[in-house]
């Protein structure tokens, strides 16, 4: 006992002391990290070695341009300064002040906001509806419908935009021709500021809902059928099953499609570029198209500041969606 007391006095707590054969106290050996805990020697070094090519490409193609763009937003760099980029002037927040006072940029931001808040839920609703029908209502030609819905998404956006521009032509387009046959004079869809942006919304939702459909269809395959059977026994109808079972079980898929779609639609560029050139009267001018125009005009510093703001808005919007749709909320 005296030996045990002396061991405790030296700081060898109960977890560090043991009892030897003579009844005295002896310190327990320190636990060592064996090969199973630490892993084979050099495993970490080999992991970094195999990751090095990706890290190098990521740093060269993404990280460095991103940092350069962030820095460029605080300068007055123009296309004429490309040969000597370090000779530009530091202007601080002047580009950002100009950005928030620019009427054209504000109009582009408003158009982008309208496009995102209308196209994202419309795309998700169409994709979810098609997935539910294909999962339960369609038994024949299911593969044909899947391919037909998904095909526009994998088709070139330029080709789709050109095709829709021809469809919506006010004189020779099939859409107005069909309306005229019914005694209705169709509008100039892409030439009227009241209908141009909604036309882009419909075209974009039609093109992209096939992707959401595939995601939702895969998620529906994982919903246990016993839940629907139990709900049927309790007398639940189709709408109750959809609201109480399908939607909660699809929450991760809804989160993914919402974040992915909103982030993509905030950057929509090809649709207005090909179909309307941002007109008429800037009614379809998007933020990305306005930034594209600034870089095309050689205003690199101002365009970089606008791109930084767009990047920040996309990141904040995605974070908000993760918070709103996170599991367990």
Choose among 326, 327, 143: nearest CA to 217. 143
Distance of CA 285 to CAs 32, 60, 108, 120, 261, Å? 65, 31, 5, 18, 19
Contact 310, 267 (CB under 8 A): yes
Q: Any idea how long the chain is?
A: 329
Q: Which two tokens stand for residue 55?
A: 């890290």
Q: What is the pLDDT of residues 109-160, one digit of tens each?
A: 999 999 999 999 999 999 999 998 888 766 677 777 788 888 889 889 999 9
Calpha distance 210→216 (Å, rounded): 10
Q: What is the pLDDT of residues 206-227, one digit of tens each?
A: 999 999 999 999 899 888 888 8
314 half-sphere exposure, CB direction, 13 A CA radius: 18
**pTM of the complete model:** 0.78
Instruction: Give all strands (DSSP E) within the chain, no chain letters.
Output: 17-19, 25-27
Residue linked to tokens 């499609």: 257
pLDDT band at 325 (very low <50, low <70, confident <90, very high): low
C-beta atoms surrounding 163 within 10 Å: 13
Instruction: Provide the percentage of residues in the chain whose pLDDT is more than 90.
Output: 42
């Amino acid at each position: 006992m005296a030996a045990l007391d002396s061991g405790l006095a030296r700081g060898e707590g109960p977890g560090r002391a043991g009892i030897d054969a003579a009844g005295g106290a002896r310190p327990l050996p320190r636990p060592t990290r064996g090969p199973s805990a630490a892993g084979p020697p050099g495993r970490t070094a080999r992991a970094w070695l195999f990751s090095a090519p990706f890290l190098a490409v990521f740093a060269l193609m993404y990280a460095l341009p991103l940092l350069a763009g962030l820095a460029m937003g605080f300068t007055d760099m123009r296309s004429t300064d490309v040969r000597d980029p370090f000779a530009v002037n530091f202007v601080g927040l002047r580009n950002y002040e100009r950005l928030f006072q620019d009427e054209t940029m504000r109009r582009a931001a408003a158009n982008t906001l309208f496009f995102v808040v209308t196209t994202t839920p419309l795309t998700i609703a169409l994709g979810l509806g098609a997935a539910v029908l294909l999962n339960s209502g369609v038994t024949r030609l299911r593969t044909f419908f899947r391919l037909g819905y998904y095909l526009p998404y994998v088709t070139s956006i330029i080709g789709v935009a050109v095709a829709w521009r021809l469809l919506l032509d006010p004189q020779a387009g099939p859409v107005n021709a069909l309306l005229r046959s019914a005694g209705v004079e169709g509008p100039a869809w892409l030439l009227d500021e009241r209908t141009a942006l909604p036309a882009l919304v419909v075209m974009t939702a039609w093109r992209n809902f096939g992707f959401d459909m595939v995601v939702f269809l895969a998620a529906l395959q994982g919903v246990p059928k016993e839940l629907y059977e139990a709900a049927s026994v309790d007398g639940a109808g189709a709408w109750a099953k959809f609201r109480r079972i399908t939607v909660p079980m699809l929450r991760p898929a809804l989160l993914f499609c919402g974040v992915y779609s909103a982030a993509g639609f905030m950057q929509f560029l090809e649709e207005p570029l090909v179909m309307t050139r941002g007109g008429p009267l800037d009614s379809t001018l998007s933020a990305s198209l306005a930034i594209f125009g600034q870089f095309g005009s050689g205003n690199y510093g101002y365009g970089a500041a606008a791109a930084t703001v767009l990047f920040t808005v996309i990141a904040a919007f995605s974070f908000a969606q993760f918070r709103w749709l996170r599991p367990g909320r």
